[in-house]
Structure 1
Amino acid sequence: MRTALAFAVMGLLAALLPAAEKRITVNGKKYDWPKSPVVVILIDGGDPAYVNAALAQGLLPNFKKIMTEGFVSIAVGAMPSFTNPNNISVITGVPPSVHGISGNFFLNPATGQETMMDQPQFLRADSILATFSEHGAKVVALTAKDKLAKILAYKLQHGISFSAEKADQCTKQNNGIDNCLAYVGRPLPSAYSADLSLFVLEAGIRILEREKPDLMYLSLSDYIQHKYPPGSKEANAYYVGIDDALGRLLALGATVALTADHGMNDKSNADGSPNIVFLQDLLDMQFGSGTAKVILPITDPYVKHHGALGSYATIFFQQPVSAPAVMSLLNRQPGVELVMDRAAAAKLFDLPADRIGTWLSSPIEALSWVRVGLLSI
């Protein structure tokens, strides 16, 4: 789901930094130097329904304050609507067609191997965070999920950067901070918990108090949103935790922006079972095993709440086959919402065509976009 909530004291990251004389250019866009600490919080899976449900119960006074006194809008996220493409869009200010991160996972056309898109070598644009640090800003980049840690830290100069998932492994040399658990005052959180995100927020508050950074990026986890619906006791408790941290950051004099990487969709049948279309099986039965390869770009290590089920697939043809015939087959399947070829998908959704297309460097056709209405595989 592309819709996500963006709400801030001042708009999106490209317009976040308060006016000043010094300006920095990153990827062709100009950013003003912050007059006060700027904190950007990305609420992974931050569908507006969660905020609205908690607001309706009077649970989020600090959210209400900045939404009333500052800026609020519903934003359209980058496609595919996953963690990596959207986090990288925020920290670069450009779409996937420019920064190159086309999913959490992809088939690397240079090697023919399936791999996570979690390495800086896949990045094709400069990071706003790194560029500010190169000009002398004190920058902090923290993430709940370790899969973002290397890209967020890439080229960061004398900054602080780590994941909550591996906070027990922090060193001054590698992360800009020692004894992270003691510094934050919390135990190492489980990857499958609200505490993973709340650790990031607490760490940000402690760092803001002690280190006085100029720019801080805090990326959270979507475990709660995948597991609990808007308005549930668990979801509300999580958002109350975010609201409390928001209030403390504002009290420390920060300019705070909150945004999301994607929204959420119910991907289950009425009985709670997953609603799945097995694309690989369909293609194997129709065209033969080994003819096509289905890649699920949501794939990542967080199987408990992602499970590679994310309503989006790319299909690579390993042997000559008619793309129109494949598209016709898929368009007839219940639950399949949209099927596009590589060129059309890249143009419509601002995607890097070479990373959603050909198998190795062969001229074999590739189908790059399949949208399955409820769930894809």
Structure 2
Amino acid sequence: MNDPELLRAPTLFAEFSRAGAKVAVITAKDKLRRLLGKGLADGICFSAEKADQVTQQDNGIEKVLERVGMELPSVYSAELSELVMAAGTDVLERDRPELMYLSLTDYIQHKHAPGSPVANDFYAMLDGCFARIDALGAVLVVTADHGMNAKSDGAGAAQVVFLQDELDARLGAGAARVVLPITDPYTVHHGALGSYATVHLPPDADADALRAGLAALDGVAEVMGRERACVRFELPADRIGELVVIAERNTVLGTTPARHDISGFAEPLRLHGGLTEQRVPFLVNAPVGPLPRGHRLRNFDSYWVGTSVAAGVPLTD
């Protein structure tokens, strides 16, 4: 989703601001800043991608690069996330927001496996920033939107199932449409490939037969119909197709080869979007009481847990 007009609910940041809280939102990419900034009438909201263009009137802050002593980084770099963290700690220290959200880019995780020197350097940078935020007295919750896995074989060759080609062979060219939600303007680190796809079928298609056929493909973990997918993944039915396809751990989904250029990748392909990337860290720098019985902690619980801990409110009745 790139357009704020597609949002169907107000953001937590807009609601906190409406209630009188001082809010700061700093993202790596500007597309997310546009989404999270919708309805935020007051507060700080800007992206590292366009940190050289911020103004007091539009973003609630100015001269960000001067404040942190950095140059504008490439969108394909570790420095883009480093700028988010540097700006976040600076804003926390100087402006003391009551709620702050810092969103990084996963460029490093796409390009460098855990334990590699580049990955280690990146996490060392994050550790230093987390220590500064902790020292400034904030309740800090660290989590992720997804995990990341290698999508290649033992020799490093990308393992891709091209769903559009498979459907074209069964139904005719262009009769069905495959949508990969990972698609965004920045494709150098993922090639617009993903491990989740939704398929829009023509009215006369045999959805059950196609579901069985796609599920039998090597690399496909599961194929389900719209109704089941909406219940399982809490999806709006009018925004997905008749089928949802999930890839196996080390396989990724594509449409057709011409739409996914990974020829320039120097490292083995690493991607996300499937069930095997659901488990993520959830770290809090303060004691957290017991969760309600049966509650399954999820990354968006960051706000509930963080604000409850900060206010001294127990998580259970």
TM-score range, shorter-chain basis?
0.7 to 0.9
Aligned equivalent of 2:227: 343
Structure 1 residues 268-311: Cα deviation after superposition (integer angstroms, max 9, x where no partner): 12221211111111111111112101111111122011212111
- Corresponding residue SS for 1:168: helix
Answer yes or no: is 1:129 the counterpart of 2:13.
Answer: yes
Aligned equivalent of 2:286: none
Equivalent residue runs for 1:65-214 within 5 Å: 117-214=1-98
- Corresponding residue SS for 2:88: helix
Partner residue of 2:188 out of 295, 304, 320? 304
Provide the C-alpha distance between the structure 2 equivalents of 1:267 and 1:338, rounded to a whole number of angstroms.
17
Aligned equivalent of 1:372: 247
Partner residue of 1:327 out of 211, 216, 222? 211
Provide the C-alpha distance between the structure 2 equivalents of 1:150 and 1:184, rounded to a whole number of angstroms.
23
- Corresponding residue SS for 2:156: coil
Structure 1 residues 80-132: Cα deviation after superposition (integer angstroms, max 9, x where no partner): xxxxxxxxxxxxxxxxxxxxxxxxxxxxxxxxxxxxx1222211222221111
Per the normalisation by structure 1, the TM-score is 0.65
Aligned equivalent of 2:302: none
Answer yes or no: is 1:283 the counterpart of 2:160.
Answer: no
Provide the C-alpha distance between the structure 2 equivalents of 1:322 and 1:290, rounded to a whole number of angstroms.
16
Q: Which amino acid aligns with 2:128?
A: D
- Corresponding residue SS for 2:87: helix
| Identity among equivalent pairs (%) | 53
Contact 1:142 1:218 in 2 (8 A): yes
- Corresponding residue SS for 1:301: coil
> CA shift at 1:313, angstroms?
0.8
Provide the C-alpha distance between the structure 1 equivalents of 2:120 and 2:219, rounded to a whole number of angstroms.
31
Q: Which has the higher contact order (CA 8 A, sep 6+)?
A: 1
- Corresponding residue SS for 1:337: strand
- Corresponding residue SS for 2:49: helix
Per the normalisation by structure 2, the TM-score is 0.77
- Unpaired stretches in structure 1, ≥5 consecutive residues: 1-116, 358-365
Contact 1:327 1:339 in 2 (8 A): yes
Q: Which amino acid aligns with 1:162?
A: F
Provide the C-alpha distance between the structure 2 equivalents of 1:156 and 1:263, rounded to a whole number of angstroms.
29
Contact 1:313 1:370 in 2 (8 A): yes
> CA shift at 1:166, angstroms?
1.0
Provide the C-alpha distance between the structure 2 equivalents of 1:237 and 1:335, rounded to a whole number of angstroms.
33
Equivalent residue runs for 1:212-251 within 5 Å: 212-251=96-135
- Corresponding residue SS for 1:161: strand
Larger fraction in strand: 1
Q: Which amino acid aligns with 1:258?
A: V
Number of residue pairs matched by the alignment: 252
Provide the C-alpha distance between the structure 1 equivalents of 2:203 and 2:38, rounded to a whole number of angstroms.
38
> CA shift at 1:319, angstroms?
4.8
Provide the C-alpha distance between the structure 1 equivalents of 2:31 and 2:156, rounded to a whole number of angstroms.
29
Runs of 4+ in 1 over 2 A off after TM superposition: none
Equivalent residue runs for 1:248-287 within 5 Å: 248-287=132-171
> CA shift at 1:154, angstroms?
1.2
Q: Which amino acid aligns with 2:13?
A: L
Provide the C-alpha distance between the structure 2 equivalents of 1:288 and 1:321, rounded to a whole number of angstroms.
11
- Corresponding residue SS for 1:277: strand
Contact 2:10 2:39 in 1 (8 A): no
Provide the C-alpha distance between the structure 1 equivalents of 2:183 and 2:81, rounded to a whole number of angstroms.
20
> CA shift at 1:345, angstroms?
0.4
> CA shift at 1:157, angstroms?
2.7
